[in-house]
C-alpha cells in the first residue's frame, strides 16, 4: 500500500474510531440497539428488577454496590455478556451511565439486557427474596472456593477503595448469607474490582459445569 493510500484509509477510520474503539460521540448510546438495529436508550435496554428476579440464569448474579469507576463497570458488562450473568448496579453510582470510559471498556458487548439498576440496596433484596447473598470482602476468613455456588446466588462486591469506607452495613448485614475473600499475598492492597468479580464468576460457572458455554 502506498503512503497516499495508507493515509486515505487512516482518514476513513479516524472519524469513527478512537484508540481502537468507537468514539464516544459516534451514534446515540453507542451500540445499544433493538433487534432491528435501531438505537435505544441505555435505561430502556436494561432489565427491570422484577424481570431479573424471575430470570433463569446459568451463573450467579453479580452485584456492584455503589461502583465509582466507569471502566470497571464497563468491563463487568463485558464479563456478564460473555458468561450469561446478570449485573446489578446499586445506586448511588460514581458516574453517568453514558460515560465514555464505561462504554469504551464494554467494547461491543453492551447488551444492556444483562444489567439492572437499583435505586437502593433494599430494592435488590426485595426483588430477589429467595437468593443467597455472598459478600466478597477482605474482612472474611472463608475462601471463595469453599462455597458451593447456585445460579440464584448474588455475588456482592462493594465500592472500589477510596476515601469512602466500605459500607459494612451492606457487606456484613443480616441479608448476607456468607462472607468470602480471595487470597492474596500479605501487605498488598487489593485486586481490581472486576478482576475479582471475574475470578468469582468463573469459579461459580466452573462448579456449575460451564452450563451454556462452549
pLDDT digits (tens, 9 = 90+) for 126-183: 999 999 999 999 889 999 999 999 999 999 999 987 655 568 889 999 999 999 999 9
Q: Could you tell me the pLDDT band of residue 185, with boundaries at 50, 70 and 90?
A: confident
Which sign does the torsion angle of CA 106, 117, 127, 175 carry?
positive
* Residue 113 counted as domain residue: yes
User: What is the count of structural domains for the chain?
Assistant: 1
Tell me whether residue 116 is in a domain.
yes
Residue 22 belongs to a domain with what CATH number?
3.40.1280.10
pLDDT of residue 167: 82
- What stretch of H or E contains 203? helix 193-207
For residue 41, the model assigns a pLDDT of 57
Rounded to two decimals, the pTM is: 0.78
Q: Is the pLDDT of residue 12 over 90?
A: no
Q: What average pLDDT does this structure show over 75-99?
A: 87
Is 45 part of a structural domain of the chain?
Answer: yes
The residue whose grid cell reads 441479608 is 175
Count Cβ atoms within 10 A of the Cβ of residue 37 and give its class: 0-12 exposed, 13-18 middle, 19 or more buried.
exposed
Q: Is 195's pLDDT higher than 70?
A: yes
Neighbours of 73 (CB within 10 A): 27
* 9 is a domain residue: yes
Per-residue pLDDT of 18-67, as tens digits, reads 333 344 444 444 445 555 666 555 666 688 999 999 999 999 999 999 99
pLDDT of 214 higher than 70: yes
Q: Which residue has the higher pLDDT, 67 or 113?
A: 67
Please tell me the distance from the alpha carbon of residue 130 to that of residue 144, in angstroms, as a whole number.
21
Contact 59, 151 (CB under 8 A): yes
Tell me what percent of the chain is helix, strand and coil, each rounded to the nearest 5. Answer: 35, 15, 50
pLDDT given for residue 95 in this prediction: 81
- What pLDDT is attached to residue 6? 47
Give me the domain span that covers residue 107. 3-207
187 is in an annotated binding site: no
190 annotated as a binding-site residue: yes
Asked if residue 212 belongs to a domain, the reply is no
Amino acid at each position: 500500500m502506498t503512503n497516499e493510500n495508507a493515509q486515505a484509509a487512516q482518514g476513513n477510520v479516524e472519524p469513527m474510531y478512537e484508540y481502537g474503539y468507537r468514539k464516544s460521540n459516534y451514534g446515540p448510546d453507542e451500540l445499544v440497539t433493538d433487534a432491528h438495529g435501531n438505537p435505544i436508550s441505555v435505561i430502556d435496554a436494561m432489565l427491570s428488577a422484577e424481570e431479573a428476579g424471575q430470570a433463569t440464569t446459568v451463573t450467579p448474579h453479580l452485584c456492584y454496590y455503589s461502583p465509582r469507576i466507569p471502566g470497571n463497570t464497563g468491563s463487568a458488562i463485558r464479563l456478564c455478556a460473555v458468561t450469561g450473568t446478570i449485573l446489578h448496579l446499586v445506586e448511588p453510582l460514581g458516574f453517568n451511565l453514558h460515560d465514555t470510559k464505561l462504554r469504551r471498556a464494554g467494547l461491543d458487548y453492551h447488551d444492556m439486557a444483562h444489567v439492572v439498576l437499583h435505586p437502593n440496596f433494599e430494592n435488590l433484596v426485595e426483588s430477589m427474596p429467595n437468593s443467597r447473598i455472598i459478600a466478597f470482602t477482605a474482612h472474611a476468613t472463608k475462601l471463595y472456593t469453599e462455597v458451593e455456588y447456585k445460579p440464584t446466588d448474588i455475588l456482592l462486591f462493594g465500592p472500589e477503595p477510596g476515601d469512602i469506607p466500605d459500607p459494612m452495613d451492606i457487606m456484613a448485614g443480616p441479608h448476607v448469607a456468607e462472607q468470602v475473600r480471595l487470597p492474596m499475598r500479605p501487605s498488598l492492597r487489593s485486586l481490581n474490582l472486576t478482576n475479582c468479580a471475574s475470578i468469582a464468576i468463573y469459579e461459580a460457572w466452573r462448579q456449575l459445569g460451564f452450563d451454556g458455554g462452549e
